Protein backbone atom coordinates (compact mmCIF):
# COMPACT_ATOMS: atom_id res chain seq x y z
CA UNK A 1 0.00 0.00 0.00
CA UNK A 2 1.30 3.38 -0.95
CA UNK A 3 1.17 6.05 1.71
CA UNK A 4 -0.73 9.11 0.57
CA UNK A 5 1.52 11.98 -0.13
CA UNK A 6 0.75 15.48 0.99
CA UNK A 7 0.06 16.38 -2.60
CA UNK A 8 -2.54 13.68 -3.04
CA UNK A 9 -6.07 15.08 -3.36
CA UNK A 10 -8.25 14.78 -0.25
CA UNK A 11 -10.86 12.63 -2.01
CA UNK A 12 -8.15 10.13 -2.96
CA UNK A 13 -7.14 9.61 0.69
CA UNK A 14 -10.63 8.40 1.69
CA UNK A 15 -11.56 4.79 1.12
CA UNK A 16 -14.24 4.21 -1.46
CA UNK A 17 -17.61 3.43 0.12
CA UNK A 18 -20.22 1.29 -1.49
CA UNK A 19 -23.62 2.75 -2.05
CA UNK A 20 -26.22 1.37 0.31
CA UNK A 21 -23.79 0.17 3.00
CA UNK A 22 -22.62 3.40 4.52
CA UNK A 23 -25.07 6.00 3.18
CA UNK A 24 -28.45 6.23 1.53
CA UNK A 25 -28.95 7.37 -1.97
CA UNK A 26 -30.75 10.74 -2.02
CA UNK A 27 -33.80 10.87 -4.28
CA UNK A 28 -33.54 13.06 -7.26
CA UNK A 29 -35.06 16.51 -6.66
CA UNK A 30 -37.61 17.47 -9.24
CA UNK A 31 -37.72 20.86 -10.73
CA UNK A 32 -40.54 22.84 -9.04
CA UNK A 33 -41.38 24.46 -12.33
CA UNK A 34 -41.99 21.06 -13.84
CA UNK A 35 -44.07 19.97 -10.83
CA UNK A 36 -46.59 22.84 -11.14
CA UNK A 37 -46.43 25.07 -14.13
CA UNK A 38 -49.51 27.16 -13.17
CA UNK A 39 -50.25 28.51 -9.69
CA UNK A 40 -53.84 29.59 -9.08
CA UNK A 41 -55.03 32.32 -6.73
CA UNK A 42 -55.86 31.39 -3.17
CA UNK A 43 -59.47 30.15 -3.08
CA UNK A 44 -60.46 31.59 0.29
CA UNK A 45 -63.14 34.09 -0.72
CA UNK A 46 -66.29 33.81 -2.75
CA UNK A 47 -68.40 36.58 -4.19
CA UNK A 48 -71.75 36.89 -5.87
CA UNK A 49 -71.85 36.66 -9.63
CA UNK A 50 -72.21 39.97 -11.42
CA UNK A 51 -75.91 40.90 -11.34
CA UNK A 52 -77.92 42.26 -14.20
CA UNK A 53 -77.14 45.97 -14.09
CA UNK A 54 -80.39 47.02 -15.75
CA UNK A 55 -82.55 44.99 -13.34
CA UNK A 56 -80.50 46.19 -10.38
CA UNK A 57 -81.07 49.85 -11.31
CA UNK A 58 -84.76 49.12 -11.87
CA UNK A 59 -85.11 47.59 -8.39
CA UNK A 60 -83.34 50.55 -6.80
CA UNK A 61 -85.49 53.15 -8.54
CA UNK A 62 -88.70 51.24 -7.89
CA UNK A 63 -88.07 50.85 -4.16
CA UNK A 64 -87.00 54.48 -3.69
CA UNK A 65 -89.76 56.07 -5.76
CA UNK A 66 -92.55 53.86 -4.44
CA UNK A 67 -91.81 54.26 -0.72
CA UNK A 68 -90.87 57.94 -0.95
CA UNK A 69 -94.17 58.64 -2.71
CA UNK A 70 -95.98 56.75 0.03
CA UNK A 71 -94.18 58.79 2.70
CA UNK A 72 -94.93 62.02 0.83
CA UNK A 73 -98.67 61.34 0.94
CA UNK A 74 -98.90 59.98 4.49
CA UNK A 75 -96.46 62.01 6.60
CA UNK A 76 -98.92 64.88 7.12
CA UNK A 77 -101.81 62.71 8.42
CA UNK A 78 -99.35 60.58 10.41
CA UNK A 79 -97.96 63.60 12.27
CA UNK A 80 -101.51 64.92 12.77
CA UNK A 81 -102.77 61.69 14.34
CA UNK A 82 -99.57 61.47 16.39
CA UNK A 83 -100.28 64.93 17.80
CA UNK A 84 -103.88 63.97 18.56
CA UNK A 85 -102.76 60.79 20.28
CA UNK A 86 -100.12 62.70 22.25
CA UNK A 87 -102.72 65.20 23.39
CA UNK A 88 -105.12 62.43 24.40
CA UNK A 89 -102.49 60.47 26.37
CA UNK A 90 -101.10 63.53 28.15
CA UNK A 91 -104.58 64.80 29.01
CA UNK A 92 -104.63 62.22 31.83
CA UNK A 93 -101.65 63.86 33.57
CA UNK A 94 -102.02 67.54 32.58
CA UNK A 95 -104.87 69.90 31.62
CA UNK A 96 -105.90 69.32 27.97
CA UNK A 97 -106.37 73.05 27.28
CA UNK A 98 -102.64 73.59 27.86
CA UNK A 99 -101.75 71.33 24.93
CA UNK A 100 -101.75 73.13 21.61
CA UNK A 101 -101.50 71.43 18.21
CA UNK A 102 -99.39 73.45 15.78
CA UNK A 103 -98.74 72.97 12.07
CA UNK A 104 -95.87 74.05 9.88
CA UNK A 105 -95.10 73.54 6.17
CA UNK A 106 -92.51 70.86 5.50
CA UNK A 107 -89.58 72.34 3.60
CA UNK A 108 -91.03 74.18 0.56
CA UNK A 109 -94.39 72.43 0.43
CA UNK A 110 -97.46 74.58 1.08
CA UNK A 111 -99.86 71.67 0.61
CA UNK A 112 -98.50 69.22 3.21
CA UNK A 113 -97.92 70.33 6.78
CA UNK A 114 -96.22 68.79 9.77
CA UNK A 115 -98.25 68.76 12.97
CA UNK A 116 -96.78 68.91 16.47
CA UNK A 117 -97.70 69.69 20.09
CA UNK A 118 -96.65 72.76 22.03
CA UNK A 119 -96.81 73.49 25.73
CA UNK A 120 -94.85 75.35 28.36
CA UNK A 121 -91.96 73.27 29.64
CA UNK A 122 -90.18 73.18 32.96
CA UNK A 123 -86.77 74.55 33.85
CA UNK A 124 -84.67 72.45 36.26
CA UNK A 125 -83.89 73.68 39.72
CA UNK A 126 -80.31 74.32 40.85
CA UNK A 127 -80.42 71.28 43.14
CA UNK A 128 -81.66 69.05 40.32
CA UNK A 129 -78.97 70.35 37.94
CA UNK A 130 -76.25 69.81 40.55
CA UNK A 131 -77.38 66.25 41.33
CA UNK A 132 -77.63 65.43 37.63
CA UNK A 133 -74.10 66.75 37.03
CA UNK A 134 -72.60 64.67 39.82
CA UNK A 135 -74.47 61.47 38.88
CA UNK A 136 -73.63 61.82 35.17
CA UNK A 137 -69.94 62.36 35.90
CA UNK A 138 -69.80 59.38 38.25
CA UNK A 139 -71.51 57.10 35.75
CA UNK A 140 -69.19 58.30 32.96
CA UNK A 141 -66.15 57.44 35.15
CA UNK A 142 -67.47 54.07 36.38
CA UNK A 143 -68.73 52.73 33.04
CA UNK A 144 -65.27 52.09 31.47
CA UNK A 145 -64.30 50.00 34.51
CA UNK A 146 -67.21 47.57 34.16
CA UNK A 147 -65.65 44.69 32.24
CA UNK A 148 -68.90 42.74 31.93
CA UNK A 149 -70.45 45.60 29.93
CA UNK A 150 -69.93 45.34 26.14
CA UNK A 151 -67.56 47.99 24.93
CA UNK A 152 -69.95 49.39 22.32
CA UNK A 153 -72.72 49.79 24.91
CA UNK A 154 -70.29 51.38 27.36
CA UNK A 155 -69.08 53.91 24.78
CA UNK A 156 -72.64 54.87 23.87
CA UNK A 157 -73.74 55.23 27.50
CA UNK A 158 -70.61 57.24 28.23
CA UNK A 159 -71.48 59.60 25.38
CA UNK A 160 -74.99 59.98 26.80
CA UNK A 161 -73.56 60.85 30.21
CA UNK A 162 -71.16 63.43 28.73
CA UNK A 163 -73.96 65.19 26.82
CA UNK A 164 -76.17 65.11 29.92
CA UNK A 165 -73.35 66.54 32.05
CA UNK A 166 -72.84 69.45 29.66
CA UNK A 167 -76.57 70.16 29.65
CA UNK A 168 -76.73 70.05 33.45
CA UNK A 169 -73.75 72.40 33.76
CA UNK A 170 -75.42 74.82 31.37
CA UNK A 171 -78.57 75.00 33.54
CA UNK A 172 -76.41 75.17 36.64
CA UNK A 173 -74.45 78.20 35.43
CA UNK A 174 -76.49 80.15 32.85
CA UNK A 175 -80.07 78.80 32.68
CA UNK A 176 -81.43 82.16 31.48
CA UNK A 177 -79.51 81.76 28.19
CA UNK A 178 -81.32 78.57 27.19
CA UNK A 179 -82.77 79.40 23.74
CA UNK A 180 -85.20 76.49 23.19
CA UNK A 181 -88.66 75.47 24.34
CA UNK A 182 -90.99 72.52 23.78
CA UNK A 183 -92.37 74.02 20.55
CA UNK A 184 -88.92 74.34 18.98
CA UNK A 185 -88.02 70.81 20.10
CA UNK A 186 -91.24 69.44 18.61
CA UNK A 187 -90.53 71.24 15.35
CA UNK A 188 -86.96 69.91 15.12
CA UNK A 189 -88.02 66.41 16.13
CA UNK A 190 -90.84 66.12 13.60
CA UNK A 191 -88.77 67.66 10.81
CA UNK A 192 -85.93 65.23 11.46
CA UNK A 193 -88.25 62.25 11.82
CA UNK A 194 -90.07 62.92 8.55
CA UNK A 195 -86.73 63.39 6.80
CA UNK A 196 -85.68 60.00 8.17
CA UNK A 197 -88.79 58.45 6.64
CA UNK A 198 -87.70 59.76 3.25
CA UNK A 199 -84.09 58.63 3.72
CA UNK A 200 -84.84 55.06 4.89
CA UNK A 201 -85.98 53.76 1.45
CA UNK A 202 -82.98 55.39 -0.24
CA UNK A 203 -80.42 53.85 2.11
CA UNK A 204 -82.00 50.38 2.16
CA UNK A 205 -82.55 50.31 -1.61
CA UNK A 206 -78.84 51.01 -2.17
CA UNK A 207 -77.88 48.25 0.27
CA UNK A 208 -80.41 45.65 -0.93
CA UNK A 209 -80.16 46.12 -4.70
CA UNK A 210 -76.91 44.07 -5.17
CA UNK A 211 -78.15 41.10 -3.09
CA UNK A 212 -79.20 37.99 -5.06
CA UNK A 213 -82.77 37.69 -3.87
CA UNK A 214 -86.12 38.52 -5.42
CA UNK A 215 -87.59 42.00 -5.31
CA UNK A 216 -90.55 40.92 -3.16
CA UNK A 217 -88.20 40.13 -0.26
CA UNK A 218 -86.43 43.46 -0.65
CA UNK A 219 -89.79 45.22 -0.75
CA UNK A 220 -90.79 43.46 2.48
CA UNK A 221 -87.55 44.46 4.25
CA UNK A 222 -87.98 48.14 3.37
CA UNK A 223 -91.63 47.99 4.45
CA UNK A 224 -90.75 46.44 7.84
CA UNK A 225 -88.04 49.01 8.56
CA UNK A 226 -90.27 51.90 7.52
CA UNK A 227 -93.13 50.67 9.73
CA UNK A 228 -90.73 50.33 12.67
CA UNK A 229 -89.54 53.89 12.10
CA UNK A 230 -93.12 55.18 11.93
CA UNK A 231 -94.29 53.38 15.08
CA UNK A 232 -91.14 53.96 17.12
CA UNK A 233 -90.83 57.60 16.09
CA UNK A 234 -94.40 58.45 17.04
CA UNK A 235 -94.41 56.57 20.36
CA UNK A 236 -91.03 58.07 21.28
CA UNK A 237 -92.39 61.56 20.67
CA UNK A 238 -95.15 61.02 23.24
CA UNK A 239 -92.64 59.92 25.90
CA UNK A 240 -90.20 62.76 25.22
CA UNK A 241 -92.93 65.39 25.26
CA UNK A 242 -94.17 64.16 28.63
CA UNK A 243 -90.69 64.16 30.17
CA UNK A 244 -89.83 67.64 28.90
CA UNK A 245 -93.06 69.21 30.11
CA UNK A 246 -93.43 67.30 33.36
CA UNK A 247 -89.80 67.14 34.49
CA UNK A 248 -87.19 69.34 32.88
CA UNK A 249 -85.68 70.91 29.77
CA UNK A 250 -82.37 69.48 30.96
CA UNK A 251 -82.83 66.23 29.04
CA UNK A 252 -83.63 67.90 25.73
CA UNK A 253 -80.08 67.54 24.37
CA UNK A 254 -79.97 63.81 25.18
CA UNK A 255 -83.43 63.24 23.68
CA UNK A 256 -82.46 64.82 20.40
CA UNK A 257 -78.78 63.91 19.89
CA UNK A 258 -78.48 60.53 21.66
CA UNK A 259 -81.86 58.81 21.53
CA UNK A 260 -83.66 60.95 18.98
CA UNK A 261 -84.49 60.25 15.32
CA UNK A 262 -80.83 59.59 14.51
CA UNK A 263 -81.08 56.47 16.69
CA UNK A 264 -83.20 54.92 13.94
CA UNK A 265 -80.03 54.00 12.07
CA UNK A 266 -79.23 51.42 14.77
CA UNK A 267 -82.26 49.22 14.15
CA UNK A 268 -82.05 49.91 10.41
CA UNK A 269 -78.54 48.45 10.37
CA UNK A 270 -79.63 45.68 12.77
CA UNK A 271 -82.53 44.51 10.58
CA UNK A 272 -80.39 44.70 7.45
CA UNK A 273 -77.52 42.77 9.07
CA UNK A 274 -79.89 40.05 10.31
CA UNK A 275 -81.38 39.68 6.84
CA UNK A 276 -77.95 39.45 5.19
CA UNK A 277 -76.76 36.83 7.69
CA UNK A 278 -79.87 34.68 7.08
CA UNK A 279 -79.45 35.08 3.33
CA UNK A 280 -75.76 34.12 3.49
CA UNK A 281 -76.47 30.97 5.53
CA UNK A 282 -79.26 29.93 3.19
CA UNK A 283 -77.07 30.39 0.12
CA UNK A 284 -73.85 28.99 1.55
CA UNK A 285 -74.35 25.59 -0.06
CA UNK A 286 -75.85 26.81 -3.32
CA UNK A 287 -72.99 26.79 -5.80
CA UNK A 288 -75.14 28.40 -8.48
CA UNK A 289 -75.26 31.63 -6.49
CA UNK A 290 -71.53 31.93 -5.75
CA UNK A 291 -68.31 32.01 -7.77
CA UNK A 292 -64.68 32.04 -6.74
CA UNK A 293 -62.93 35.36 -6.44
CA UNK A 294 -60.52 34.77 -9.38
Q: Is the pLDDT score of 218 beyond 80?
A: yes
Spatial separation of the C-alpha atoms in residues 131 and 272, rounded to whole Å: 40
Q: Is the pLDDT score of 250 beyond 70?
A: yes
pLDDT at residue 265 in the model: 81
pLDDT band at 36 (very low <50, low <70, confident <90, very high): low
pLDDT band at 40 (very low <50, low <70, confident <90, very high): low
Work out the average pLDDT over 246-254: 87
pLDDT at residue 292 in the model: 47
Work out the average pLDDT over 3-29: 51
pLDDT at residue 202 in the model: 92
The angle that helices 53-90 and 182-208 make with each other, rounded to 10 degrees, is 160
H-helix or E-strand spanning residue 188: helix 182-208
Spatial separation of the C-alpha atoms in residues 107 and 112, rounded to whole Å: 9
- In contact, 228 and 271? CB cutoff 8 Å: yes
Structural domain boundaries in the chain: 53-121+180-278, 124-177
Residues, the chain: 294
User: If you average pLDDT over every residue of the chain, what do you get?
Assistant: 79
Work out the average pLDDT over 123-133: 89
Taken in order 209, 211, 212, 217, the sign of the CA dihedral is negative
Q: 1-5, 140-144, 267-271: which has the minimum mean pLDDT?
A: 1-5
Amino acid sequence: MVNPSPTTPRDARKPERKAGLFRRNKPAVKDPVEKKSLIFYHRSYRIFPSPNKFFQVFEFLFLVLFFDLVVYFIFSPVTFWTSLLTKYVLSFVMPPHTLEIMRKPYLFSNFYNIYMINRLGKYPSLEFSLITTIVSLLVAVILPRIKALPRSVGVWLGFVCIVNTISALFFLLIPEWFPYDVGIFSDLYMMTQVTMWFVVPLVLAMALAPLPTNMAVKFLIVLIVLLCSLLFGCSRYIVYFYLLTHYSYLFMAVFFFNIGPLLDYIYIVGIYSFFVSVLAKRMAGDSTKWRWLY
